[in-house]
Amino acid sequence: MKFKFIIIALGVSLSYGICQAQNNPEPIKEDFKPAATNQPGQQFPQVNSQGYARFRIKAPQSDSIRVSLGLGGQGGTRLTKTADGFFTGTTSGAMDEGFHYYHLTIDGGIFNDPGAMNYFGSSRWESGIEIPAKDEDFYANKNVAHGNVQQILFPSKSTNSSRRAYVYTPPGYGKDKRRFPVLYLQHGWGEDETAWSNQGRANLIMDNLIAEGKTKPFIIVMTYGMTNETKWGRMKDFKIDGFQTLLTEELIPYIDANFSTMTTANGRAMAGLSMGGMETHTITLNKPELFDYYALLSGGTYNPSELKDKAKPRLIFISCGSKERPEGVKNAVSALKEAGYNAVSYVSENTGHEFQTWRRSLRELAPLLFK
């Protein structure tokens, strides 16, 4: 299955930011501030208004520190040792807006930046940095009514374990007997069930959309999607069966039994980013009776022949960043429309295979769901 390996390759190469920084002809503005993703009270890393990132790491007896973020082909940003025992350095170009994973290579070993918060990506907790974006207001923590993100532990016979999922419930949930539709939303390769709220800010995106009356309130369920791997982060042997069983026979029934949900296909959507898009693609085709809304975020496309003779979805949403392969997304949606499907494409401007693309995709997707 060639399809999935293309996605995975994209996920790996781009999520490290190798191609993110751009040459910038303007001089660097000295308006650096601590990144929003820093640990409490930490002054570094910093970001400036142009999107440059600056690092400062204490390691008095080290010989070399390199940051994995930076211009393509240069192996990241090499820091310079200063007399006070710190290593400092600035990316040689502006980074793409939004969230990036990174790590340090210290004397040949891989460690996190002690100034930054950690996020689960590449099958480990990595440092993260937020580059301010012109449109960052849509995922800001604002003074609006907030929904909750609930950690649940649900029983799974197929994996003989009690498994974790996160459930976003919108503001007002539980105050009356109202039932809500549900979006099952998957992370990408090397990420887990924490990604969509931590890196993706899915809860804040929803809170803000709901406050502005732009979307119906709905529940979002996020769980771990790499259930059958024998080794963490290894995709070679990935088969969909284990996750499909867990999702459709264990998690969905648990959610419907324990939350106030709509339990029919027209109240259920599935979406995923990157590898989560591959999972969405396969599971919606295998179980079209469960979901009426499908969305692939930088995670491949549907073609009309795959959908033929199956229950017709009410919406197919396909998106990616402009730095990925937007023509593939647009062409696929054209073909789906021609074949009579309600298909919508979205391309995030100036972003690649990273969370800013997926945050924006969720912002565009949510208003189209459950209409």
Residues between 36 and 55 that touch a copy of itself (CB under 8 A): 39-42
Binder of a copy of itself out of 5, 153, 241, 312 (CB under 8 A): 153
Decide: is 305 part of the binding site for a copy of itself (CB under 8 A): no
Decide: is 233 part of the binding site for a copy of itself (CB under 8 A): yes
Q: What are the tokens at 224?
A: 């771990």
Decide: is 75 part of the binding site for a copy of itself (CB under 8 A): no
Q: Quick one: 156 or 298, whose CB is closer to a copy of itself?
A: 156
- Point out which span in 110-118, 245-253, 263-271, 315-323 binds a copy of itself (CB under 8 A): 110-118
Q: Are 98 and 356 in contact (CB under 8 A)?
A: yes
Considering the complex, what minimum distance in angstroms separates the CB of residue 106 from a copy of itself? 6
Cα dihedral across residues 6, 12, 14, 19: positive or negative? negative
Helices (H), 153-269: 195-198, 202-211, 240-245, 252-258
CA 305 to chain centre: 28
CB-based burial, 270-306: b 16+ in 10 Å, e otherwise:
bbbbbbbbbbbbbbbeebbebbbbbbbbbbbbbeeee
Decide: is 109 part of the binding site for a copy of itself (CB under 8 A): yes
Q: Quick one: 136 or 290, whose CB is closer to a copy of itself?
A: 136
- Point out which span in 70-78, 145-153, 261-269, 350-358 binds a copy of itself (CB under 8 A): 145-153
Q: Is 105 helix (H, G, I), strand (E, B) or coil?
A: strand
- Point out which span in 11-19, 100-108, 336-344, 345-353 binds a copy of itself (CB under 8 A): 100-108
344 forms beta bridges with: 317
Helices (H), 225-299: 240-245, 252-258, 275-286
By CB under 8 A, name the binding residues for a copy of itself.
39-42, 57-64, 85, 106-112, 114, 117-118, 123-125, 141-143, 146, 148-155, 162, 167, 174, 192, 197, 203, 207, 231-233
